[in-house]
Amino acid sequence: MAEQRSLVNSVCRADVLSPTCHEAEPIVKGEPASGREQETGRTLSEPSILKIAAFGSKGDSPTRSHVTRPEVPKDVATYRAFRRLCDNIVKELGRIGAFLIKDKVSDEGAEVVAEIEALLEELYTCPHGQGESLKRVVVAVQSQVNNTVWDRRHIEFLRDLFFFLRVRYLVDEAAVDTCYDFMKARGLDPFRGTICEPRVTKRYRIEEVLEHDKSSGTIS
């Protein structure tokens, strides 16, 4: 990178942004003849970029114009496919409201449900994200929406998830956790359709036992 020299603007002189001030955009020509050390103001047209003092100087990076360019990152290409699928699911979810009757999706809504299920299948094969995280998200979603009559909870869960997921670039373990959080928040059972689903629920009760001490006549 190049070190740019010349006039440091008045913001920097006021030490507002401190150590990175030397990075302020310079002006070579039109530099005022008189010093402006006393100025402390900011202008309306100042840049919005935030300067954070994590690096010693602007000259910390070499030129790479003649260096072999690394390959385009895998996620750039896969994100487009991922985003398209998520956008399509969100679009289908926008249509499904019309088929809600008494909080359940009517038979006429089966077309939309089938479309979303097909998109989920496609999403499962999308290679975006870290490791198997996206696959795990899709499996978690399918455990809730496959082989069931959709109701308002399913739709709200899908809306929550895909409004969140479509703008996520980094699909990792945290995305899987968030998926389960949305599931629980909408009252769905995270164990549905899994081998972990409990078949028998046992309930236990703790009772206070009162014993009568005959010798002292007190209850202990």
Partner 1 sequence: MAGSSPFQVHRILATIRFIQGYRYLDRCGEALVKLENVLTEGWLPTEPSPKAGGMKNDQLGMTASFNSEGMTTSQAEFISFEHFIDQTCKVFDTLWQTFEIKRISSPTILVVFQKGFKDDELEEAAQYLISLRLCVPHTGLIGLMEGMAHALDFVLLTTEDMEWNEERVHRRRRMQSQVIRQERQPPFDERLLRRSRQLASKQRDAIAALMKLRRKHPEVSPVAAQLDLEHSFETELSAEVFDLPSFLQQGWEWAESVRGGIARLEGETS
Cβ(119)–Cβ(92) under 8 Å?
yes
Smaller CB separation from partner 1, 6 or 125? 6
CB of 152 to partner 1, least distance (A): 21
Burial zone of 162 (CB within 10 Å; 0-12 exposed, 13-18 middle, 19+ buried): buried
CB of 146 to partner 1, least distance (A): 27
Smaller CB separation from partner 1, 113 or 137? 137
Smaller CB separation from partner 1, 89 or 113? 89
Q: In whole angstroms, how far apart are CA 110 and each of 26, 89, 122, 171, 194? A: 63, 15, 18, 29, 24
Q: Estimate to the nearest angstrom the gap between the alpha carbon of 114 and the chain centroid.
A: 26
Smaller CB separation from partner 1, 77 or 114? 77
DSSP 8-state symbol, 166: T
CB of 77 to partner 1, least distance (A): 9
CB of 180 to partner 1, least distance (A): 15
Smaller CB separation from partner 1, 160 or 192? 160
Q: Estimate to the nearest angstrom the gap between the alpha carbon of 44 and the chain centroid.
A: 33
Separation CA 150–CA 184 (nearest Å): 16
CB of 80 to partner 1, least distance (A): 9
CB of 33 to partner 1, least distance (A): 14
Q: Determine how many CB atoms are found less than 10 A away from the CB of residue 129.
A: 24
Beta partners for residue 101, in sequence order: 104
Q: Which residues in this chain contact partner 1 in the complex, by CB under 8 A? A: 1-6, 25-30, 44-45, 47-55, 57-67, 69-70, 72-73, 75-76, 79, 83, 130, 163-164, 166-170, 172, 174
Cβ(147)–Cβ(117) under 8 Å?
no
Smaller CB separation from partner 1, 110 or 174? 174
